[in-house]
């Protein structure tokens, strides 16, 4: 039996926790860079993926209110091997997410305040961000939850700020982008469609914390619907605001927020906007890193309690009552991946490879989640979710237009995916209970 974790989270905490995990300010610039057609993609993704995911998590988290969430859901419906594979692939996918997110948030913050943003500076700042985000959750959710709460509120303050700035600038001059609603299709932007779906994911992370939630039967369904609605509004409004400030070709994926903030500052004569945006970007990023790090550390914790990983992962710190070994290992592996993916590529290409790999490994477990949702009776939402997952993975393997060496890009994706599944099989065979 797994050691008991402390129940520290109420409806407000779970809702803000889910928002911090779901909304990522990094995806606003990517959507704006793709043009106004991304607004329709946000809405389509909400209908065919986010809402079905809310239905699935709301029912499954209530049926299995344990630490480890999707690991327990899959294990109960499909058996120990599938439960372990689902949890392992999901964990690795988010371990890959960590370095790509840290790179984005730290480069955006450094650029906005005018500090050096070369590779060495970004890598150093990214390693520090991972350490701080995980460290606050290492000492307990009583402390760690405030990292997520502040991060979620900062993301909303950033989005609301851009909407206000766009309105003020639009009162002085026409919008920088002519709005149209149909997405533009070409092979160079297909990969971005997968990014849109990934940006709307994350609600299942709150389900991983079920053992630490007060009254999960009432809390999860309500928090799921509130956070999903907030996420849809967040992405649509913020993307439109950036397009009012700048045309898509002047918005880059990694520095778009700083670029839009600088444009608004020049138009309004407010030079302080860029450092303020940098502060909000950094805070929102720390909230996402902390929230996702805290939640996925519960997967190895749950698997170790079942004897499928070394027993150390199931240890709870005697003072802080957190799965400290699992959190520390996540920090170590994420830091290693941050450095390893820089080999043989520019920082831009390494970032794109991390994004595609995290989408592939991050979305494969949804096949199991929607399978469990199907077995729980949520038939139509499960079908919609399955279709969205398959389309997202197919789009993720198409290289973006910025990639020069296609074979290196595809080779790293294939090797990373194979290594993830293969390592899971080796671990399962080694530690499974006969």
- Alpha-carbon gap, residue 373 to 385, rounded angstroms: 10
Region 26-31 average pLDDT: 86
Of 51, 50, 49, 72, the residue nearest 60 (C-alpha) = 72
DSSP state, residue 250: G
47-92 tens-digit pLDDT: 889 889 888 887 887 777 666 678 888 988 899 899 889 888 888 8
The tokens for 87 are 């949890």
Q: How confident is the model at residue 386 (pLDDT cuts 50, 70, 90)?
A: very high
- Alpha-carbon gap, residue 147 to 286, rounded angstroms: 7
The tokens for 120 are 């060495």
Region 237-246 average pLDDT: 92
The tokens for 371 are 């399978």
Task: Please provide the average confidence, as pLDDT, over all residues in the chain.
Answer: 80
pLDDT at 370: 94
Let me know the angle formed at the C-alpha of 380 by 31 and 194, rounded to the nearest 5 degrees. 20
- Alpha-carbon gap, residue 213 to 307, rounded angstroms: 25
94-138 tens-digit pLDDT: 787 777 788 878 877 777 667 776 777 888 888 888 888 777 777
* Sign of the CA dihedral with 372 first, then 296, 13, and 201 last: negative
Neighbours of 419 (CB within 10 A): 12
Q: How confident is the model at residue 183 (pLDDT cuts 50, 70, 90)?
A: low
Cα separation of the two ends of the chain: 17
Cβ proximity of 296 and 94 under 8 Å: yes
pLDDT at 374: 93
Q: How confident is the model at residue 238 (pLDDT cuts 50, 70, 90)?
A: very high
286-322 tens-digit pLDDT: 777 877 777 777 778 878 877 888 888 888 877 777 7
Residue with tokens 């779906």: 197
Let me know the angle formed at the C-alpha of 135 by 133 and 140, rounded to the nearest 5 degrees. 105
pLDDT at 434: 42
Region 167-187 average pLDDT: 79
β-partners of residue 67 are 209
Cβ proximity of 188 and 320 under 8 Å: no
Domains with residue ranges and CATH for the chain = 11-179+186-431 (1.20.1740.10)
To the nearest 10 degrees (0 to 180), the angle between helices 26-34 and 256-268 is 80
- Alpha-carbon gap, residue 16 to 402, rounded angstroms: 35
Instruction: Using a pLDDT cut of 70, give the percent of the chain over it.
Output: 85
Contacts of 363 (CB under 8 A, 6+ apart): 93, 197, 198, 201, 389, 392, 393, 396
DSSP H stretches of helix in 246-309: 256-268, 273-296, 298-305
Rounded to two decimals, what is the model's pTM?
0.77
Q: How many residues does the chain have?
A: 434
Residue with tokens 């080796």: 426
Contacts of 130 (CB under 8 A, 6+ apart): 98, 99, 102, 289, 293, 331, 334, 335, 338
Cβ proximity of 357 and 413 under 8 Å: yes
pLDDT at 401: 65
DSSP H stretches of helix in 65-140: 70-78, 80-112, 119-138
Calculate the alpha carbon distances from 209 to 53, 146, 240 in Å: 16, 15, 33
The tokens for 385 are 């979710």
Residue with tokens 């793709």: 34
The tokens for 228 are 């999903």
359-381 tens-digit pLDDT: 888 889 999 999 999 998 888 88
Calculate the alpha carbon distances from 271 to 243, 268, 278, 391 in Å: 20, 8, 12, 43
Region 266-294 average pLDDT: 80
β-partners of residue 9 are 213
pLDDT at 368: 93
192-221 tens-digit pLDDT: 778 888 888 888 877 666 666 666 667 777
């Amino acid at each position: 039996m797994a050691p008991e974790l402390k129940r520290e989270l109420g409806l407000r905490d779970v809702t803000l926790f889910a928002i911090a995990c779901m909304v990522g300010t990094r995806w606003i610039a990517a959507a704006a860079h793709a043009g106004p057609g991304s607004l329709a993609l946000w809405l389509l993704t909400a209908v065919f993926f986010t809402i079905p995911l809310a239905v699935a998590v709301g029912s499954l988290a209530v049926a299995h209110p344990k630490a480890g969430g999707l690991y327990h859901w899959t294990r109960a419906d499909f058996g120990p091997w599938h439960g372990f594979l689902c949890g392992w692939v999901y964990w690795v996918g988010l371990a890959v997410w960590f370095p790509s997110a840290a790179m984005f948030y730290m480069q955006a913050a450094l650029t906005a305040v005018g500090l050096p943003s070369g590779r060495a500076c970004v890598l150093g700042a990214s390693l520090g961000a991972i350490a701080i985000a995980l460290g606050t959750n290492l000492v307990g959710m009583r402390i760690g939850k405030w990292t997520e709460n502040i991060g979620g509120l900062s993301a909303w303050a950033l989005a609301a700020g851009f909407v206000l700035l766009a309105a003020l600038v639009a009162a002085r001059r026409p919008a920088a982008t002519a709005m149209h609603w149909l997405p533009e299709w070409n092979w160079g932007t297909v990969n971005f469609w997968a990014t849109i779906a990934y940006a709307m994911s994350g609600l299942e992370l709150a389900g991983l914390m079920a053992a630490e939630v007060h009254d999960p039967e009432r809390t999860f369904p309500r928090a799921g619907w509130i956070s999903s609605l907030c996420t849809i509004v967040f992405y649509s409004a913020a993307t439109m605001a950036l397009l009012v400030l700048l045309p898509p070709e002047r918005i880059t994926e990694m520095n778009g927020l700083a670029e839009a903030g600088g444009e608004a500052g020049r138009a309004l004569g407010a030079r302080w906007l860029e450092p303020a945006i940098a502060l909000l970007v950094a805070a929102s990023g720390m909230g996402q890193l902390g929230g996702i790090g805290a939640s996925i550390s519960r997967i190895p914790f749950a698997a170790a309690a079942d004897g499928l990983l070394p027993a150390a992962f199931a240890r709870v710190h005697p003072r802080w009552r957190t799965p400290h070994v699992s959190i520390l290992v996540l920090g170590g592996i994420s830091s290693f991946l941050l450095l390893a993916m820089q080999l043989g590529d520019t920082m831009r290409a390494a970032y794109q490879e991390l994004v595609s790999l995290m989408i592939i490994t991050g979305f494969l477990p949804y096949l199991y989640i929607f399978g469990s949702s199907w077995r729980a009776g949520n038939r139509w939402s499960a079908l919609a979710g399955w279709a969205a997952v398959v389309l997202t993975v197919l789009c993720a393997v198409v290289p973006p237009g910025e990639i020069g060496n296609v074979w290196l890009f595809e080779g790293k994706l294939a090797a990373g995916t194979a290594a993830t599944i293969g390592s899971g099989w080796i671990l399962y065979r080694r530690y499974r209970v006969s």
